[in-house]
Amino acid sequence: MIIIGFLGGTYGIYKMVVGNYAMNDPFSFGFILMAYIILVASAYVATKRIWTLLIIGVVITFQSCNYAKSNQQVVVSEDCGMTWKKINAGEAVPKGGLNMCYMKVVVPNFPMQGEATFISNLKDKVRANVHIDYDYSIIDALAFIKQAKFLGKANVDADNEEAIGKSFEMAENMVIDKRIKDVAKRIFVDEDIVELDQSEIENHLLAESNKVLEQLGVHLNFITLSFDLDEQTRQAIDVSTAMKIYESKGLTELGKQVMSQRAGATRITVENKTEAVKPEN
């Protein structure tokens, strides 16, 4: 049993070193190493400590078995979020440590989806409800966590699936949505709703948004844009489009007559006249 406990503890210490646990959380590693040496010495002198040695060996072994995966980016802080350090995929991730200021964030390393809805002005003071669906990836966890420090927690397990993507809705609203809205409003104010090219403005918005977001560790993969206009604006767009077709065919005057008749046809007046009933003799 002593040999098993010794081998288990030694293997755990070895995995801590090769898995960079010691580098990522030196305070806890130093404490565990000191405790292990003391317990080994105690067990050597008195076999009564055999169970203690076995328990500590098992604890150390499990403590070193939590690793960062390829589909996540793990960042840690030893000073309550003042500075952060990234743990590469395959390296050991400390589970908690004895440092009260030790924090850990598990950032998804795969594409995620988000959406933004807002009201924006287009050219000639046309107002529209704008809905944007987007797909994004966090390309730099260290830059991203500086903008979303509220994601930091003291004991986030890298093996916990709930830690991946669970808290990112608020991060999307604060980090991504706000930047997209600011860029979109700046672009839309010069866009004519009649002349607007859907694919062209989506590409323009994607490129301009990425210039801002990539500095924050986020990259937009694609954007889908839609405008919700009121009935009056939609009718005005239909009329303008129809007139351009008439003009291209040299039928401007005919187009004006058709539009005039169409506009008049929408005005319906309903008269309800009730004749007085004559009394019978």
3-state DSSP of 206-219: HHHHHHHHHHHCEE
Q: Of 81 and 263, which is predicted with more confidence?
A: 81
Q: In this predicted structure, what is the pLDDT of residue 167? A: 60
pLDDT of 270 > 50? The answer is no
- Digit-coded pLDDT (tens) for 85-123: 888 888 877 765 566 777 788 888 889 888 999 988 888
Mean pLDDT, all residues of the chain: 72
pLDDT of 15 > 90? The answer is no
Question: Which 8-state DSSP code applies to residue 153?
Answer: B
- Digit-coded pLDDT (tens) for 27-78: 666 667 777 677 666 666 655 555 565 666 555 555 555 677 888 888 888 8
As to burial, measured by CB atoms within 10 angstroms (0-12 exposed, 13-18 middle, 19+ buried), residue 258 is: middle
Q: Are 124 and 75 in contact (CB under 8 A)?
A: no
Q: Are 67 and 18 in contact (CB under 8 A)?
A: no
Task: Give the least confident one: 140-144, 148-152, 158-162.
Answer: 158-162
Q: In this predicted structure, what is the pLDDT of residue 155? A: 47
Q: Name the packing angle between helices 178-188 and 198-213 (round to 10°).
A: 130
Number of other residues whose CB lies within 10 A of the CB of residue 30 = 12
Q: Of 167 and 132, which is predicted with more confidence?
A: 132
